[in-house]
Structure 1
């Protein structure tokens, strides 16, 4: 019996697009911080010279940084910070449109993370105990 090529099993095409469509990630929700927020922090709560963690898109990309609030100018919508990167403090003025997300850290700067020794390599678990003296990274 003759079967046309479109009827054979190996020529069958599924009704869905192939390969399967990938699920689309949800867009990140971004919280823009207004200069009036910092004005309230200074005037209502007396939090001038206190520390915050925020994202300053223009200078540091999407990396969160620790900042010390120095002042705010609501007419020009500029906020002045001391930024505490590992290299040392830097004073910058930032427009409110460049600030994303904020979290209050308190009146004292957060503790700097301590440096831990690097983790042992995975292959160290295969070295017998009597040979560990040969490999200082496995001690």
Structure 2
């Protein structure tokens, strides 16, 4: 892409920041050019964020009903999925999925809870509970 054609669509998903893109100068050499966003990229990013929000709300309801452990909600609230969370803690997916059962989660040792809380960026206390929120009105945190 030529430097003068780098998108500058003032994307709200960039939060007034710029993204570095490689583009060719008039002399044909590659260089870094700041972009304030691209409309198509913004649309796709917003769709992805809406999907994570939908998954977090669905997860919240499953935890509230006792079908899943709080770990299940916090995974989606932090924009992760099973594969990403498993990679973050360094365990097999089947093991992480098993920890999403309330009875199994309730028996987890502190070492495993600490690994999850570190990967999710929350305290063990937060990990073990659901936040108070109205998923009908507010979506999720």
TM-score by length of 2: 0.24
Bigger relative contact order (CA 8 A; separation at least 6): 1
Bigger fraction of residues in strand: 1
Bigger fraction of residues in helix: 2
Whichever of the two has the greater Rg, that structure is 1
